[in-house]
Structure 1
Amino acid sequence: MTELTRRHFLGTSAAGGALALAGAGIASPAAAADSTSTTGSAVAVPGEVTVQPGDPGYGYLTTRGLNRRFTGAPARINQVFTADQTRQAVQQAVDAGQQIAVRSGGHCLDALVDNPQVTALIDVSQLNAIGYDPVHQAISIQAGAQLGVAYKQLYLAYGMVAPTGSCPTVGVAGFTTGGGFGPLCRDQGLVVDHLYGVEVVTVDRNGQAHLQLATRSSTDPNRDLWWAHTGGGGGSFGVVTRFLFRSPQATGAGPAGLLPTPPKAVITATVVWPWSGLTETAFERLVANHGAWHAANSAPGTPYRTLYSEFALTCRNAGVIALVAEIDAGVPGAQNLMNSYLGAVSQGVSAPSSTSTATMNWLTARMAGLYPEAPASDNRSKSKGSYLRRPFTADQAGTLYQYLSAPPANAITTLVVYAYGGQVNSVAPAATAVAQRDSILKTLLVTAWADPADDDTNVAWTRSFYQDLHSATGGVPVPATATDGCYINFPDTDLADPAQNTSGTSWQTLYFKDNYPRLQAVKAGYDPTDQFHHALSVRLPNG
C-alpha cells in the first residue's frame, strides 16, 4: 500500500489522518494562562519574535502551509509566545493598516492564510501550553497546540480527551473554531460540544486590541463571542489565544471528569480493494452498501456509536480503494459489531479484497494514525467538501466511478467519506455555530499533485467532478433533502465565486445556514471595523 499516503486519501484536511508526538509536558495553571511556567518553577518567557523578508526564518515561516499552490509574502511575521504578545501583534498590525492572518498548524486548504493580500502574519504555533485551569475548572489548551500533543498529554495526565481529529500537526485553533470532528464524534459529539470558553484578541471600534474571555455561561456578557467560535470558522472575529474545555455534563472540582474518557483499546480494520479487480458494478455496489449502512446506523445512541470509519474512494492511479474502521474494544460484542459492519459494506461485491485487523491501546492507535504520511512532493491540491443527509444515489455512484477510474495522469484524487452522525446529531442546530446536525456522512474531494504546470488542469478537473457529482442541486451540495451544505474547515473559495457557484445558493448558506445572521451580529459587536477578514470570513451585516 505504498501508494496510499495520507494526503492521497485526505488531502491536507483538518479532520483526518495520523497522530505524532510533539511538544512538552503538562503545563501548570500559570503556563496554561500565559506560558510563564511549565513545571511550576520560573521559566523565562521568550519575547515576541518579528520576522521580515530577508531574515533567516522568513522562508520557513511562509512555507509551512501544506498546500503549496498558495503562497504569501507578508511584510511581517509575529511569532508569539504569550497572549499579551498576541494582543500587541494585533495592535501593531491595526496601527499599520495591515491585513492580518493567523497560522497555527498550517493545514488551511485554500488561500485564506497564504495569500498575497496578507501583510501581517501572526504565528501562534509556540503558544502551545496545555493543562488544568483551576480558576475556570476547565482544561486549558492554547491556540498553537497541535492535536497530537493534546491527545497524548490529556490522556497520560488525566485519562481524558477532548474529542478532536487525528492528524498530528493540525492546530487546535483552526480545528476547533471550524467545529471539528474525528474518531470519537459518533460517541462524544463534536469538539465544540465540549468547549466551555475561548480567550480571544478582538479589536474595538476605536482600533484598540483587547484580550477577552468568553464562555458558554448563560450569564456571561460575552457568550455570543463564545458561540461564534463553536463552528463559525477562524479569521472572522479575532485571534484566539487559548480554549477552555469542559463537557456540559461535567461536575465537581479538579480535572477528573471534565472531559470524556476514551476507550482503553480499539479494534481496527482495514479493507482494501485493488482497482484491477473492480468492475463498475462492484464499485457502485460498495458505495451503495456503505451508504445504506450509515443511513440505518447513524442515529444518536446507536449500538454502533463507537464505530468510526473513513472510506477512501481513491482513483485508479493509486491502485486501490480502502475502508479504515475502528470501534471501542470494550463495547459488548465489539468484534461482532465490526464484523457486521464490514460484512454489510462488502455484501454482494464480486471483487477481490484483503482485510487486516488489530486490537491496540487507544492512544497507540491514535499515535499510529489511520494512514502514513504523504510524500513531500505531492504538496499542491484542490479540495471540496459536503455533508450528506442521505447516501449517494445510483447516478452519483456512477459519476464517482466515471471520474475516479480516469483521473488526470499526474495526480491522485480521493473522495473520502467520513462516518458521521450519532451523538453529533443530538445537538440542536442553533446550540453551536455548526448548523449541520442531522447528516449521516461527510465528504472531502481532494486532488493532489506535484508540478505547478498541472495546476490549471487539475483544478478544472476537480471542479468538474464536484459539479457533476452534485448536478441535481446546481453543482453544489445545497441544504436540501439529500445534502446539507459544506464544512467550513474544508474551505473552498469557489463557493464564493459566482463564476464557479451558479447554484443560486450563497456560500454563507452552504457553510452556516440559518446561523449566519447571528454570526454577522457577533461580527458587528466584536470586529466592527472588519480587521479580521478573508474570502470566506463572516461579513458585517451591511457588507
Structure 2
Amino acid sequence: MTTTSASTGSRRPVVLSDRQGFDRRWFASELEAVHVPRNDAEAVAQVGEAVSRYGRDVKVVSGRHCYEDFAYNGTTKAIVDMSSMNRIGWDERRAAFFVEAGCENWSVYRGLLNGFNRTLPAGSCYSVGSGGHITGGGYGLLSRLRGLTVDHLSAVDIVTWNASSDKAELHHVSAASASQDERDLFWALRGAGCGNFGVILRYYFEELPEAPESASIYTLSWDWKSIDKSSFADLLACYAEFVSDMPETDFSLLKLTHASSGQLGMIVQSVSAEGVTHPEHRAQVERRYTETRTRFGAIVGHTPLRKPLGGHPGWTTAIVGNESVQHVTYLEALQTLNGSGPNQFGKYKSAYMNKAFPPDQVAAIHRWLNTTPKGVSEPDMSQSLLQVDSYGGAINRVAPDATAVPQRDAIMKLQYQTYWLNASRPGEGNRAPYDTQAEAHLRWINEFYREVYAEYGGTPDPAGDPGGTVAGAYYNYPDSVLGTHAEGTVDDALWLYFLDNFRKNERNLVAVKRRWDPANVFHHAQSIPVE
C-alpha cells in the first residue's frame, strides 16, 4: 500500500490517518493509495494514474468534512488529497485573486485579510476545505451582506477525465470561456461540483469585497424549564420575523438544542457597514441588542448562558457575547466563531424555508427536542440540535438559475444535527457494542426530520408544498436518507438539492455531467447521474 508522487516517485505507506474522515463514522478500510499533488502538473499526472488503475474507486478530499461516506467508505481504493495545494494570492496573468482547493477556511480568511484586506462570504468552520466548500455553494456569516461564495466565483481550474483518450486533462473554465461546454461546466461548478465533474485545483475571484472594519457579537439564551409549547411556538415565530427584519450586516444562528442541554440560545454577529465609523457601528449594534432582548424577552425571560452553544457552523468552545455585546475587530470575530468542533460521530440533515414555521412543524420540533430515543441516556443527547440560520439578503438578489444553487427566496436555512462519542477504535464505531448508540441517534434525527415534513411526504419538498414554505435541502449538507444510486432513489435527493437545475431547465446538471464525465468516473452515492 503506497502513495506516489508523480514528480519524485517517492513512496510512503498508507497510514491510519489516511483512512479516517473528520466525521468518525466514515472509514476507508480498503484504501491502497493516496496521491498528494503539489502543483498542476502533478495533479494531472496523479489523477491520470489513479483513475487508470482504480476507476470509480478514486475519491477526492480537501478538508475531509463530508457529512456522508462519499469519500471514506469500504470501496475507496485511492484518494487524491488536495491538502498540499494550499496557496492564496493574486494571479497577475488571470487578474484575479485565487484560492487553491487544499486551503481550509481559516487560512483563506487569514490570507485574504492579511494580504489584501479582502474576504469571502464563506463558512465558519475553520478546517473545512475549500475544495468542496466553495463548489458546493458556500455560505456563512457574511452571506446576507455579500451573497454565497459561488456568487463571487469568476473561474475554476479543474482536472477532468477524457473518456475518449483515457487521459486526465486540465481546464480553465469561466463564464467567458470560448466554448459553451466550458461555460456550462463553470455554471455547474458554482454549487454542484462536489465529486461530480473532476478534481478542482483552484478558484478565481476577479472581485472580492473588502473585509469589514469591525464586528460585534452577542447571544441570547433561555432555560428549557421556562419554555412550554406555547412560548416555544412564539419564540420560533418571533425568530422568523427577526431574520426578515435584520439589516444585511447581521447574521444569526438560533440553536434549538435538545432539552437535555438545559438551555437554548441565539448568536448574532453584526459587521460594520461601509462608511460607518466604529463608534457609529457600536451605537447601532447596542441599540439593536437592546431591542432584540426586549423583543424576545417578552416571550420568555433571558438567563445567562452557562456553557457554549454547540453545532455547525459556529461551534465555539467559550461563551461569547454573553449578557452584553462583544465589540471586536473583524479578525477577532473570525477567530471567535471559527470552530469546527471535536472529531465525533455525527449525522446531519438540512432544509431551506421561504416562510415562518407552520404550527405542525413547530409542534414536531418541540416534541423531538424533548425526546430521548431508546438506547442512549439523556446526557448523550445534549449536543443534538436543530440550528436555524438566517438567510436572505444579498443571496435573494441572484436568479435561481444563475448558479447551480436554486434556493434564492429562502429566509432561513436549517441544519439538523446529532453527535455522539465512544471509545471505539477507528473504523469500528458501528460495530457492537457501539452500534446501539449509533442506531439510536440516527433513528432520532431521521424520525424527527420525517415528522417535521410529514405534510410534504417526509422531506422539505417544494413540489408537495403549494404554500411555498419549504425549498429543498443543501448539497453541502448531504443526507443519504434522501436517496442514493444504490437504492435507485438518487433523483429524489438531487431534486431537493437542485430543483429545476437538476434536470428540467435547458441548462441542467445531468446534461453537463453527460458531456464532461460520460464514463461516470467521478461517482459517489449522490453524484449527478449521466442519464
Q: TM-score, normalised by structure 2?
A: 0.84
**Cα distance in 1, alignment partners of residues 329 and 131 from structure 2:** 27
CA separation of 1:499/1:89 partners in 2, compared to 1, >3 Å: closer, same or farther?
closer
1:4-19 aligned within 5 A: none
Q: Secondary structure at the match of 1:506?
A: helix
- Aligned residue number for residue 311 of structure 1: 254
Say whether residues 1:415 and 2:422 are aligned partners.
no
Quick one: which of 272, 278, 288 aligns to 1:337?
Answer: 288
**Cα distance in 1, alignment partners of residues 217 and 259 from structure 2:** 25
1:291-313 Cα shifts (integer Å, max 9, x gaps): 1223x33xxxxx60111011111
Amino acid at match of 1:213: H
CA separation of 1:71/1:499 partners in 2, compared to 1, >3 Å: closer, same or farther?
closer
Amino acid at match of 1:237: F
The answer on whether the counterparts of 1:413 and 1:446 sit within 8 Å (CA) in structure 2 is yes
State the Cα RMSD in Å: 2.4
Quick one: which of 73, 76, 84 aligns to 1:126?
Answer: 84
The answer on whether the counterparts of 1:49 and 1:80 sit within 8 Å (CA) in structure 2 is no
Say whether residues 1:347 and 2:298 are aligned partners.
yes
Q: Secondary structure at the match of 1:309?
A: strand
1:9-48 aligned within 5 A: 47=8
**How many Å apart are 1:402 and its aligned residue?**
0.9
**Cα distance in 2, alignment partners of residues 321 and 230 from structure 1:** 34
Say whether residues 1:528 and 2:518 are aligned partners.
yes
Relative to structure 2, which stretch is displaced further, 401-410 or 454-463? 401-410
CA separation of 1:92/1:501 partners in 2, compared to 1, >3 Å: closer, same or farther?
closer
Say whether residues 1:470 and 2:441 are aligned partners.
no
CA separation of 1:346/1:217 partners in 2, compared to 1, >3 Å: closer, same or farther?
farther
**How many Å apart are 1:47 and its aligned residue?**
4.4
CA separation of 1:47/1:124 partners in 2, compared to 1, >3 Å: closer, same or farther?
farther
**How many Å apart are 1:334 and its aligned residue?**
3.6
- Aligned residue number for residue 495 of structure 1: 482
1:69-80 aligned within 5 A: 69-73=25-29, 74-80=31-37
The answer on whether the counterparts of 2:161 and 2:521 sit within 8 Å (CA) in structure 1 is yes
Quick one: which of 342, 345, 367 aligns to 1:402?
Answer: 367
**How many Å apart are 1:348 and its aligned residue?**
2.4
- Aligned residue number for residue 509 of structure 1: 495
Q: Secondary structure at the match of 1:268?
A: strand
Say whether residues 1:185 and 2:108 are aligned partners.
no
Quick one: which of 378, 385, 406 aligns to 1:435?
Answer: 406
Relative to structure 2, which stretch is displaced further, 515-524 or 532-541? 515-524
- Aligned residue number for residue 267 of structure 1: 216
CA separation of 1:50/1:197 partners in 2, compared to 1, >3 Å: closer, same or farther?
farther
The answer on whether the counterparts of 1:72 and 1:114 sit within 8 Å (CA) in structure 2 is yes
1:155-193 Cα shifts (integer Å, max 9, x gaps): 111111122111110111111111010011001000000
Quick one: which of 341, 364, 369 aligns to 1:374?
Answer: 341
Quick one: which of 235, 240, 265 aligns to 1:286?
Answer: 235
Q: Secondary structure at the match of 2:324?
A: strand
Q: Secondary structure at the match of 1:488?
A: coil
Amino acid at match of 2:209: P
1:48-106 Cα shifts (integer Å, max 9, x gaps): 7655xxx2x5211212x221112113221112211221211211122113311111111
Relative to structure 2, which stretch is displaced further, 119-128 or 221-230? 221-230
CA separation of 1:346/1:434 partners in 2, compared to 1, >3 Å: closer, same or farther?
farther
Q: Secondary structure at the match of 2:84?
A: coil
CA separation of 1:444/1:49 partners in 2, compared to 1, >3 Å: closer, same or farther?
farther
Task: Report the count of equivalent residues.
Answer: 472
Relative to structure 2, which stretch is displaced further, 329-338 or 381-390? 329-338
**Cα distance in 2, alignment partners of residues 397 and 307 from structure 1:** 25
Say whether residues 1:107 and 2:65 are aligned partners.
yes
**How many Å apart are 1:288 and its aligned residue?**
1.6
CA separation of 1:50/1:305 partners in 2, compared to 1, >3 Å: closer, same or farther?
farther
- Aligned residue number for residue 426 of structure 2: none
CA separation of 1:394/1:92 partners in 2, compared to 1, >3 Å: closer, same or farther?
same
The answer on whether the counterparts of 1:424 and 1:437 sit within 8 Å (CA) in structure 2 is yes
**Cα distance in 1, alignment partners of residues 406 and 342 from structure 2:** 35
1:191-210 aligned within 5 A: 191-206=149-164, 207-210=166-169
Amino acid at match of 1:391: A
- Aligned residue number for residue 41 of structure 1: none
**Cα distance in 2, alignment partners of residues 367 and 69 from structure 1:** 28
- Aligned residue number for residue 314 of structure 2: none
The answer on whether the counterparts of 2:161 and 2:167 sit within 8 Å (CA) in structure 1 is yes
CA separation of 1:501/1:523 partners in 2, compared to 1, >3 Å: closer, same or farther?
closer
Q: Secondary structure at the match of 2:386?
A: strand
CA separation of 1:121/1:510 partners in 2, compared to 1, >3 Å: closer, same or farther?
same
CA separation of 1:263/1:342 partners in 2, compared to 1, >3 Å: closer, same or farther?
farther
Q: Secondary structure at the match of 1:531?
A: coil
**How many Å apart are 1:343 and its aligned residue?**
3.6
- Aligned residue number for residue 308 of structure 2: none
- Aligned residue number for residue 415 of structure 2: 444
**Cα distance in 2, alignment partners of residues 49 and 402 from structure 1:** 57
Relative to structure 2, which stretch is displaced further, 71-80 or 128-137? 71-80
- Aligned residue number for residue 91 of structure 1: 48
Amino acid at match of 2:188: A
% identity of equivalent residues: 30
**How many Å apart are 1:268 and its aligned residue?**
0.8
CA separation of 1:126/1:281 partners in 2, compared to 1, >3 Å: closer, same or farther?
same
CA separation of 1:263/1:210 partners in 2, compared to 1, >3 Å: closer, same or farther?
same
The answer on whether the counterparts of 2:153 and 2:203 sit within 8 Å (CA) in structure 1 is yes
Amino acid at match of 1:93: A
Say whether residues 1:236 and 2:196 are aligned partners.
yes
**How many Å apart are 1:394 and its aligned residue?**
2.1
Amino acid at match of 2:357: F
Quick one: which of 249, 254, 263 aligns to 1:320?
Answer: 263
- Aligned residue number for residue 34 of structure 1: none
The answer on whether the counterparts of 1:128 and 1:142 sit within 8 Å (CA) in structure 2 is yes
**Cα distance in 2, alignment partners of residues 357 and 114 from structure 1:** 42
Q: Secondary structure at the match of 1:125?
A: helix
The answer on whether the counterparts of 1:101 and 1:120 sit within 8 Å (CA) in structure 2 is yes
Q: Secondary structure at the match of 1:446?
A: strand
Quick one: which of 380, 390, 393 aligns to 2:358?
Answer: 393
Where relative contact order (Cα < 8 A, 6+ residues apart) is larger, the structure is 1
Q: Secondary structure at the match of 2:51?
A: helix
**Cα distance in 2, alignment partners of residues 127 and 427 from structure 1:** 31
CA separation of 1:85/1:497 partners in 2, compared to 1, >3 Å: closer, same or farther?
closer
**How many Å apart are 1:218 and its aligned residue?**
6.1
Q: Secondary structure at the match of 1:135?
A: coil
- Aligned residue number for residue 358 of structure 1: 326
1:372-427 Cα shifts (integer Å, max 9, x gaps): 66344xx1111100101112122211211111122342233111101101000100
Q: Secondary structure at the match of 2:35?
A: strand
**How many Å apart are 1:536 and its aligned residue?**
0.9
CA separation of 1:441/1:48 partners in 2, compared to 1, >3 Å: closer, same or farther?
farther
Q: Secondary structure at the match of 2:218?
A: strand
**How many Å apart are 1:323 and its aligned residue?**
0.3
Amino acid at match of 1:383: Y
The answer on whether the counterparts of 1:129 and 1:141 sit within 8 Å (CA) in structure 2 is yes
The answer on whether the counterparts of 1:475 and 1:501 sit within 8 Å (CA) in structure 2 is no
Q: Secondary structure at the match of 1:177?
A: coil
